[in-house]
Homo-oligomer: A and B are copies of this chain.
Amino acid sequence: MAELLDRTVAQTYASWFRALADPTRVQIVEYLARHAQAMSVGEIVAAIGLAQSTVSQHLKILTEVRFVLVEPIGTARHYRINDACVGCFPSAADVVMGRPAPSPNGAC
């Protein structure tokens, strides 16, 4: 008894945590999560205060794990939080801390 957590699940969770393993990305996600409407890259760059290429890289990493979603608006691209992750990411934190996921969490 007391097996290890399934390796594939552990890899998925680790990829989520790795996406937030940088303080700038933590700030970006938290910032987007508190904003109902999507924001352009320029707005995010202004808020963060790093180079545009750097912010773009961070946004790429966050979209790869689907923490944020993109939609093109004309020549701009608007980023917003993925509401599905708002629910299932904290429950992943619960699982790692030994509490089995309470909700159905079919989202992710």
* Chain A interfacial positions (CB closer than 8 Å to B): 2, 4-5, 7, 10-11, 13-14, 17-18, 20-27, 29-31, 33-35, 47-48, 81, 85-86, 89-90, 92-99
Contacts and interface: CB of A to CB of B under 8 A. Distances in A.
Given A33-B96, A96-B29, A97-B89, A14 B4 contact: no
Nearest to A85: B97
Q: Lowest 10 A-B CB distances belong to which pairs?
A: A33-B98, A18-B21, A10-B23, A90-B93, A93-B93, A17-B20, A14-B23, A10-B26, A17-B17, A5-B30
Nearest to A49: B4
> How many copies of the polypeptide does the oligomer hold?
2
A108 to B, nearest CB: 12
Given A14-B26, A17-B18, A2 B35 contact: yes
A55 to B, nearest CB: 13
8 contacts: A2-B31, A5-B31, A10-B23, A10-B30, A13-B20, A14-B20, A17-B17, A17-B20
